[in-house]
Amino acid sequence: MRHFVRGYCDERFGSDWYINAELSLKVHTGSSTLARQIQVNALKGTNNALTLPAGTSLFDLRVKEMPPADHLSETQGLRALSLEAALVRAMPNVWQADALTMQLALGMLKDTSAINRILLDGDHTTIAGRIAGALRAVDRAELADEVLKTMRSAGHSIVEQNPFDVPVQSARALPESPYCARIKAMWELMREQVMKAWTTPVRTQGTPKEYLDEAEVRYLADAYHSLSIEGYQVTPEMIDRVRKGTWGSGDTERDRQERNAMAAKGYFEAHKAVRASLLRVLEGQNPGVRLRTDLQAWYLALWSPSVQVGLVKPSELAGWRGSQVFIKNARHTPLPPEAVRDAMPLLFDLLEAETEPCVRAVLGHFVFVFIHPYMDGNGRLARCIMNLMLATGGWPWTVVTLDIRDEYMRALDAASSDQDIKPFTRLLSSLVQAQLIDGPKGPASS
Confidence band, pLDDT 50/70/90 cuts, at residue 188: very high
Percent of the residues in the chain that have a pLDDT greater than 70, as a whole number: 95
Asked if residue 386 lies in contact with residue 364, where contact means CB atoms within 8 angstroms, the answer is yes
The average confidence (pLDDT) of the chain is: 91
How confident is the model at residue 324, as a pLDDT?
A: 84
Percent of the residues in the chain that have a pLDDT greater than 90, as a whole number: 72
pLDDT tens digit sequence for 39-75 = 999 999 999 999 998 788 999 999 999 999 999 999 8
Q: Is the pLDDT of residue 349 over 50?
A: yes
List the single range of 190-194, 263-267, 303-307 with lowest mean pLDDT. Answer: 303-307
Q: Is the pLDDT of residue 445 over 50?
A: no
Instruction: Please tell me the pTM assigned to this model.
Output: 0.82
As beta bridge partners, residue 18 has: 41
Answer yes or no: is 379 a known binding residue. Answer: yes
Q: Where are the beta strands (DSSP E) in 6-116?
A: 17-19, 37-42, 48-52, 56-62, 72-75, 78-81
Contacts of 285 (CB under 8 A, 6+ apart): none
Asked if residue 217 lies in contact with residue 440, where contact means CB atoms within 8 angstroms, the answer is yes
Answer yes or no: is 426 a known binding residue. Answer: no
Answer yes or no: is 428 a known binding residue. Answer: no
How confident is the model at residue 235, as a pLDDT?
A: 87
Asked if residue 184 lies in contact with residue 255, where contact means CB atoms within 8 angstroms, the answer is no
Q: Which residues are annotated as catalytic?
A: 372
Q: Is the pLDDT of residue 21 over 60?
A: yes
Domain with CATH 1.10.3290.10 in the chain: 178-438
Answer yes or no: is 260 a known binding residue. Answer: no
pLDDT tens digit sequence for 290-347 = 999 999 999 999 999 988 888 888 878 878 988 888 877 677 888 888 899 999 999 9
Q: Which fold has domain 178-438?
A: Fic-like fold (1.10.3290)
